[in-house]
């Protein structure tokens, strides 16, 4: 069995949150060991739709969404991340929810982002391929859009692992290391041997639950189905001005692909406790469900040919917003889990905050 060098911080989970946090830790001069049995190429992040916008209609993470959008527009902290596909973002809302959404809109404005409120008539005038009923409004962000999640992951992995004090272990974490008689966390057991660290971050989605339990911490995470289909659109004029679309009233979302004829479309799922796997196909029933919902806003989808898709998963804590937690009951442990599909757009801000909490945890 091999033993990894001692580290200041061990990060379990090399998805977007774990990678972005490791990058920020390395920027602070910390020695970091990343632990992920997929080698940062699998997991939920690999199947992300990559939507990026500054406006968070729930206002739960409004400041983090705005910060994340700013960082992505600057291509990260060193200008090495992929270019943001700035096709614009359109978030559809019920007209009577605008009042509660205004604080989040103000947060986006305060962070320097352009965001306009459009009524249904303005939406269809600016985006003629869309059909929006009169009782809906939209927040339009002309400089937002999306990023290809695999390209972003690879850029972060290069940025992080080229740092001399950072190491990636392609191995599976099996338990947290705790000192006898105490819950102080001081590393991670893995299938390749122990990794000793002053603090540990769990950012491994639903896999974080059994790991936290080995230090006496209950994380009530569950998996939730996510997925999307790719559709071929024959008439490319429908895509000329098509923004990234998020419809909070139906759970539908839509964006252009990286070619002239394809769109990616998905619909929020309520199916939970699904296997934590990523499959590059969708069932006919799922394709029909997505098409039926999304075509109400984007009619060209009604007869478009499906050309692929992804069935995947994410992790959430039911009825509780995702958060970053430094655990007093298990000193040395920090968790950053439960992003429920929104982790990518928040990742730069989450990473900054998580790195700060880890450095505090490592010194106590």
pLDDT digits (tens, 9 = 90+) for 138-185: 999 999 999 999 999 999 999 988 888 899 999 999 999 998 766 799
Tokens of 217: 């911490």
Query: For 241-300, how does the pLDDT look when each residue is reduced to its tens digit (9 = 90+)?
Result: 999 999 999 999 999 998 889 999 999 999 999 999 999 999 999 999 999 999 999 999
Q: What is the pTM of this model?
A: 0.94
DSSP H or E segment with residue 51: strand 51-52
pLDDT value for 13 = 95
Question: CB count, 10 Å around CB of 305?
Answer: 10
Average of per-residue pLDDT values in the chain: 93
Average pLDDT over residues 38-48: 79
Listing DSSP states for 215-281 in one string gives TT-----EEEEEEEEEEE-S-GGGGTTPPEEEETTTTEEEEE-SSSSEEEEEE----BS--S--BS-
Query: For 207-257, how does the pLDDT look when each residue is reduced to its tens digit (9 = 90+)?
Result: 999 999 999 999 999 999 999 999 999 999 999 999 999 999 999 999 999
- Residue with the bigger pLDDT between 161 and 327: it is 327
CA dihedral 95, 101, 106, 112 (to 10 degrees): -90
Average pLDDT over residues 306-333: 92
Confidence of residue 340 (pLDDT cuts 50, 70, 90): confident
Average pLDDT over residues 114-142: 96
- Residue with the bigger pLDDT between 218 and 38: it is 218
Strand partners, 326: 334
pLDDT value for 5 = 53
* Residue among 35, 10, 4, 12 nearest 219 (CA): 12
Whether residue 3 has pLDDT greater than 90: no
Q: β-strand 262-267 against 222-232: which pairing, if any? A: antiparallel
Confidence of residue 58 (pLDDT cuts 50, 70, 90): confident
- Please, are residues 117 and 139 in contact by the beta-carbon 8 Å criterion? yes
Confidence of residue 120 (pLDDT cuts 50, 70, 90): very high
- Please, are residues 139 and 115 in contact by the beta-carbon 8 Å criterion? yes
> What's the chain's Rg over C-alpha atoms?
21
Tokens of 77: 């902290």
CA dihedral 357, 359, 363, 364 (to 10 degrees): 10
Distance CA 280, CA 266 (A): 14
pLDDT value for 182 = 67
Whether residue 85 has pLDDT greater than 90: yes
Residue 58 gets which letter from DSSP? T
Confidence of residue 339 (pLDDT cuts 50, 70, 90): confident
Average pLDDT over residues 308-333: 91
């Amino acid at each position: 069995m091999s033993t990894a060098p001692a580290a200041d911080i061990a990060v379990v989970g090399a998805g977007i949150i774990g990678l972005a946090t490791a990058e920020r830790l390395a920027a602070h001069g910390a020695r970091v060991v990343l632990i992920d049995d997929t080698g940062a190429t699998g997991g939920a992040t690999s199947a992300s739709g990559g939507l990026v916008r500054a406006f968070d209609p729930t206002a739960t993470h409004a400041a983090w969404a705005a910060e994340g959008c700013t960082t992505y527009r600057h291509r990260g902290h060193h200008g090495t991340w992929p270019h943001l596909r700035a096709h614009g973002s359109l978030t559809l809302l019920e007209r009577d929810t605008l009042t509660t959404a205004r604080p989040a809109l103000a947060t986006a404005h305060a962070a320097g982002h352009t965001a306009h409120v459009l009524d249904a008539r303005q939406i269809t005038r600016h985006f003629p391929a869309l059909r929006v009923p009169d009782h809906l409004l939209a927040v339009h962000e002309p400089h937002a859009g999306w990023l290809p999640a695999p390209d972003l992951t690879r850029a972060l992995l290069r940025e992080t692992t080229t740092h001399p004090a950072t190491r990636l272990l392609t191995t599976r974490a099996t338990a947290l290391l705790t000192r006898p008689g105490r819950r102080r966390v001081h590393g991670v057991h893995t299938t390749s041997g122990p990794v000793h660290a002053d603090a540990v971050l769990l950012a491994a989605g639903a896999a974080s639950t059994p790991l936290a339990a080995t230090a006496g911490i209950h994380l009530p995470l569950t998996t939730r189905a996510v997925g999307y289909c790719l559709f071929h659109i024959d008439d490319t004029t429908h895509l000329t001005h098509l923004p990234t679309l998020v419809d909070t009233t139906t759970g539908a979302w839509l964006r252009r692909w990286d070619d002239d004829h394809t769109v990616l479309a998905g619909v929020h799922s309520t199916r939970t406790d699904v296997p934590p796997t990523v499959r590059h196909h969708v069932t006919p029933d799922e394709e029909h469900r997505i098409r039926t919902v999304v075509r109400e806003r984007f009619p060209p989808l009604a007869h478009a040919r499906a050309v692929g898709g992804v069935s995947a998963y994410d992790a959430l804590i039911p009825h509780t917003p995702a958060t970053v937690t430094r655990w007093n009951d298990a000193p040395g442990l920090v968790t950053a889990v439960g992003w429920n599909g929104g982790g990518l757009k928040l990742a730069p801000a989450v990473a900054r905050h998580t790195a700060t909490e880890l450095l505090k945890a490592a010194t106590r």
